[in-house]
Structure 1
């Protein structure tokens, strides 16, 4: 089924025409009525062609559409259109087969979020929809790489609400490298998932740069009263433009990084780029050299090291030195 808003406006306008038994709608009447409906919706003069009207009627009659009983009635040399069934209207119809398949697939995908408290409504909604539209259960055919056992997933719903309401939060937090928990204020901006973990990003009091907090390290979080919210000064896309992952070391600079990739690994890197800035700067029969414009951070180094011996970081030399040091430390551990 066509899903763009203009198509829906056209179908609804035609539905009103075909349902109206007090007036006969010839093709020119339909063109005028639908054009006026589009003009009302868009706020500017709109027109529709005779061909589009006929295509819309064919779609409304079809099995893939609404199976609408649109009939053509001769009156002299002209033809008007109406529903053969006086009681028919689009609003009263069950969904068509295409819509049913889309709905079943959507419910199946939403079901992958079971266990997250803010998606508790999905199971109840799914039962109601399946009963209302007589949908058969789907075999499990789509899965998400999620961690249902991650700590503090129950905070997601509240945090999302606090972000939308622009509430300053008091957070009690304990990082992996701290013995004691700490408490501080943070102005929350958004939630981001990376590598099956959730992170809260915001402006922490006393810091110039954004802070990201892994949710599994948060102890408690509560909204404060009477503290003015500090709005963010850049967008999510701008902040992560030169970053792989979620961390952004203070003072680090974006750099052009060249990486040599062996032929065996290249198809995977080509189909799933390491970063949106990835470009090919050299290609031979045995290897490909790519260039990234990134800020080398923890996730960057982890990703490069995870690719193993099939890659070699060529430059800049200071980034290459970090990779070499990490490899040497790993080898040293295995030499003991």
Structure 2
């Protein structure tokens, strides 16, 4: 699509002519109107030739241009030009079909966030794009591993709005291992999704470290009117740099964890590292030894145990012993 400033002015001027229901624009009228528009922009006398005008009309009609429904209506020996669909405007067609296809793919992705009212418009916008550019539906072309039945998904939009408003929240919360509700005053910073679940991160009143609250365990949310919001003093990237998943044990230190990976599993681990710090420190025909620089947490152990016999924690000894203990505890269920 042309990006020349004069071309854009010409297209927009022609658009105003073609969408004018009260006047018929013949060729000489179009030339005069476009020339005046160019003069207003440049401040000097400018004109457009008849040849250039027809080239602009052909471009606006074309697939590479705007697919504009410009009709040629005979009146005696003369012809005037007008949109055949008077609801059409160039303002709605500022992207070409290729760009529209890419945008629609993105809209389909955003449309998966069904719990976020901020994205409710994407389905309507996708329909408009389909109508304007004759795009095929992408509904069955891409799928996401999202739990649409997760409790409290409808709270995502509300919480996101409260985060942006820097509101201090009073949350009624009940974790899986609690019989009673607890009441948490939290300064919310961001939402994070992990393993099909959503978590709210922020700083609880009276604590220096961040707290994570599972969205599906929230019972109620109200605004703490008299509290002053405490700004975030750490970036999420730094916070999650040395962990897998979402939980960060208090006062835990980062360790070098060595893991032996069976050759049958290695292509998977190689293409999808367990952590950004993953490095290879030894190779053999039957296995590969990798090293992670992490804080071992619940998600780390869950992921390691999920690979079964194809993976073995070598060191540190304490991390190895904790892994062995979890394996033995699992075996008790089968004997």
Judge conservation of contact 1:64–1:98 (CA < 8 Å) in 2.
no
- Following superposition of structure 1 onto structure 2, how do residues 160-199 of structure 1 map, counting pairs within 5 Å? 160-199=160-199
Judge conservation of contact 2:111–2:120 (CA < 8 Å) in 1.
no
Aligned equivalent of 1:202: 202
Aligned equivalent of 1:66: 65
**Could you list the per-position Cα deviations for residues 5-56 of structure 1 after superposition, in whole angstroms to 9, with x for gaps in the alignment?**
xxxxx815252476664699xxxx9xxxxxxxxxxxxxxxxxxxxxxxxxxx
Task: Give the paired residue count.
Answer: 280
Aligned equivalent of 1:285: 285
| Greater shift in the superposed pair: 183-192 or 101-110 | 101-110
**Pair 160,333 (structure 1): closer, same or farther in 2 beyond 3 Å:** same
2-side partners of 1:251 and 1:22: how far apart? 71
Judge conservation of contact 1:108–1:140 (CA < 8 Å) in 2.
no
TM-score normalised according to structure 1 size: 0.74
**Pair 14,307 (structure 1): closer, same or farther in 2 beyond 3 Å:** farther
**Pair 129,259 (structure 1): closer, same or farther in 2 beyond 3 Å:** same
2-side partners of 1:295 and 1:128: how far apart? 48
Please report how far the alpha carbon of residue 99 of structure 1 lies from its aligned counterpart in structure 2 after TM superposition: 2.0
2-side partners of 1:120 and 1:95: how far apart? 22
Aligned equivalent of 1:316: 316
2-side partners of 1:249 and 1:22: how far apart? 69
Please report how far the alpha carbon of residue 108 of structure 1 lies from its aligned counterpart in structure 2 after TM superposition: 2.8
Q: Counterpart of 1:322 in 2: which secondary structure?
A: helix
Aligned equivalent of 2:273: 273
Please report how far the alpha carbon of residue 329 of structure 1 lies from its aligned counterpart in structure 2 after TM superposition: 1.4
**Could you list the per-position Cα deviations for residues 117-166 of structure 1 after superposition, in whole angstroms to 9, with x for gaps in the alignment?**
54333333333333344433235010000010001111111111111111
Judge conservation of contact 1:171–1:221 (CA < 8 Å) in 2.
yes
Judge conservation of contact 1:116–1:154 (CA < 8 Å) in 2.
yes
**Pair 121,289 (structure 1): closer, same or farther in 2 beyond 3 Å:** same
Unaligned runs of 5+ in 1: 2-9, 30-59, 69-85
Judge conservation of contact 2:282–2:288 (CA < 8 Å) in 1.
yes
Please report how far the alpha carbon of residue 90 of structure 1 lies from its aligned counterpart in structure 2 after TM superposition: 7.1
Please report how far the alpha carbon of residue 306 of structure 1 lies from its aligned counterpart in structure 2 after TM superposition: 0.5
2-side partners of 1:187 and 1:327: how far apart? 38
**Could you list the per-position Cα deviations for residues 248-287 of structure 1 after superposition, in whole angstroms to 9, with x for gaps in the alignment?**
0112111000001111110000000000000111112221
One of 1, 4, 11 as aligned partner of 2:3: 11
1-side partners of 2:283 and 2:224: how far apart? 56
Q: Counterpart of 1:113 in 2: which secondary structure?
A: coil
Judge conservation of contact 1:95–1:133 (CA < 8 Å) in 2.
no
Q: Counterpart of 1:108 in 2: which secondary structure?
A: helix
1-side partners of 2:205 and 2:114: how far apart? 35
Unaligned runs of 5+ in 2: 12-33, 43-58, 68-80, 84-88
Judge conservation of contact 2:104–2:129 (CA < 8 Å) in 1.
no
Aligned equivalent of 1:225: 225
Aligned equivalent of 2:16: none
2-side partners of 1:123 and 1:113: how far apart? 11
Please report how far the alpha carbon of residue 110 of structure 1 lies from its aligned counterpart in structure 2 after TM superposition: 3.2
Q: Radius of gyration: which is bigger?
A: 2
Aligned equivalent of 1:124: 124
2-side partners of 1:163 and 1:331: how far apart? 44
Q: Counterpart of 2:65 in 1: which secondary structure?
A: coil
**Pair 216,12 (structure 1): closer, same or farther in 2 beyond 3 Å:** farther
Aligned equivalent of 2:144: 144
Aligned equivalent of 2:158: 158
